[in-house]
Amino acid sequence: MRLTYFPFLVAVWILACGLYGMITSRDLIRQIICLIVVQSSTYVMLVGVGYVTGGIAPYFSDIAGPHATVDPVVQALALTDVVVEAAVTALLASFAIQAHKRFGSLDPQDLAEFKG
Amino acid sequence: MTPGQRKRAFLVGAAGLVILLIWAVTGLPGFGAYPGPYGPAITRHAVAQTNATGVVSAINFEYRGFDTVGEEFILVAAVAGMSVVLRRLRGEKEQPAAREELPGGGPATSEAVRVAALALAGPTAVAGWWLATHAQANPSGGFQGGVLLATAFVLVYLSGEVLAFRRISPASVTEAAEALGAGGFAAVGVTAVVLGLPYLDNFLPLGSPGSPGAVTSSGTIALISFLVGVAVAAAFVLVAGELLEQRLLSSGGTTPGKG
């Protein structure tokens, strides 16, 4: 059944949308947001890969007896990645601030012209 | 290369990438049919081995702790890089006029935003503190708890209390807290080595199996999570402070220099 791949195809679609935005946008802030979109596709992919049919969240404080749970390893990966992504976004935003101060523009095309 | 050419070149490459990716994902086991050995193995043994009921935290701060140290230092490096990038510029632009603008230079805040932000600051700080200190039982631990703690500081700024925000988060304190949190995480690992155990081994005593909710119930998991929470909270308060400072400086009458 083809539909069993649907969440993975959603991740591919989000990745493609983000890449398209990064290539076509004429604004550094928009490009940073598109990079966040690209990274979001990895979360969909990770959490999708770890899903187990009928599985519940891997927290055992109120689960009585054995029960199928979703894979906690990919959730741990996604959890730390979200925070690291936010810090990297802040670093990129500071580069955008610096570029705007130096060149008075946020258009990557203008920055390229200033380079020589 | 004009934007039009670049877009066409991208569309060709993206089509190839998407086709390859679709080929790849259709070779995966279907959604919900996860076959991997690690997740089920850890889920089966984590509660007995670590006494932590939150298995994601047990992985982050115990099984995969070495990797989490690396992620922690990526975070610290990114924030340090941001401080460096912005600090050099501030030295260039700092003018007495901009300084004098600061007390009234905050954003014009409506009463609704001010009241909502002030009302939320306390509960947000409490929730962040609880998440950061009770990693063994809750679904996040220090990373998400730290972000919530930092959010409480940003809410103080949002309420228009720019001076209060700067008073409760001086850079000297937040930088020291960030270093303490990140260094403390690494130090917990080294302590295990000094005791003759593998790096980041859980050397603190586990609580009794009947008390999985207590902070002390799962050894170093809660300690590491707390240190991560301190580091993450300090890092994001630093980030917010640096970016807000930029906003205040540019609204203080300095004109951006052109090329």
Whether chain B has a CB inside 8 Å of the CB on A97: the answer is yes
pLDDT over 50 at B252, yes or no = no
Q: Is residue B60 part of a domain?
A: yes
What percentage of chain B carries pLDDT values higher than 90? Answer: 28
Instruction: List, as one string, the DSSP characters of A15-77.
Output: HHHHHHHHHH---HHHHHHHHHHHHHHHHHHHHHHT-BTT-B-SB-SS--S---B--HHHHHH
CA–CA dist B12, A38 (Å, integer): 18
Whether residues B33 and A53 touch (CB distance < 8 A) is answered with yes
Q: Is residue B144 part of a domain?
A: yes
Query: pLDDT confidence of B151, banded at 50, 70, 90?
Result: very high
Whether residues A51 and B242 touch (CB distance < 8 A) is answered with no
Look up the domain containing B237 and give its range: 53-251
Chain B nearest-CA residue for A25 = B3
pLDDT in tens, chain A (116 residues): 456 888 999 999 999 999 999 998 889 999 999 999 999 999 999 988 888 888 888 888 777 667 788 888 888 888 888 888 888 899 999 889 888 888 888 888 777 665 54
Q: Is residue B127 part of a domain?
A: yes
**Roughly what angle, to the nearest 10 degrees, separates helices B142-158 and B220-251?**
30
Nearest to B143 among A48, A75, A79 (CB): A79
Q: Is residue B42 part of a domain?
A: no
Query: pLDDT confidence of B250, banded at 50, 70, 90?
Result: low
Q: Is residue B35 part of a domain?
A: no
Residue type present at position B242: E
Topology given in CATH for the domain delimited by A2-54+68-114: Helix Hairpins (1.10.287)
CA–CA dist B223, B241 (Å, integer): 27
Residue ranges covered by each domain of chain A:
2-54+68-114
- For residue A92, the SS3 value is helix
- pLDDT value of residue B254: 44
Q: Is residue B96 part of a domain?
A: yes
Q: Which of A15, A39, A79, A89 to mutate to test the interface with B (most CBs of B within 10 A)?
A: A79
CA distance B161 to chain A (A): 23
What percentage of chain B carries pLDDT values higher than 70? Answer: 84
pLDDT over 60 at B239, yes or no = yes
Give how many domains chain B has, as a whole number. Answer: 1
| Contacts within 8 Å (CB) and 24+ apart, B45-49 | B46/A72, B47/A60, B47/B212, B48/B209
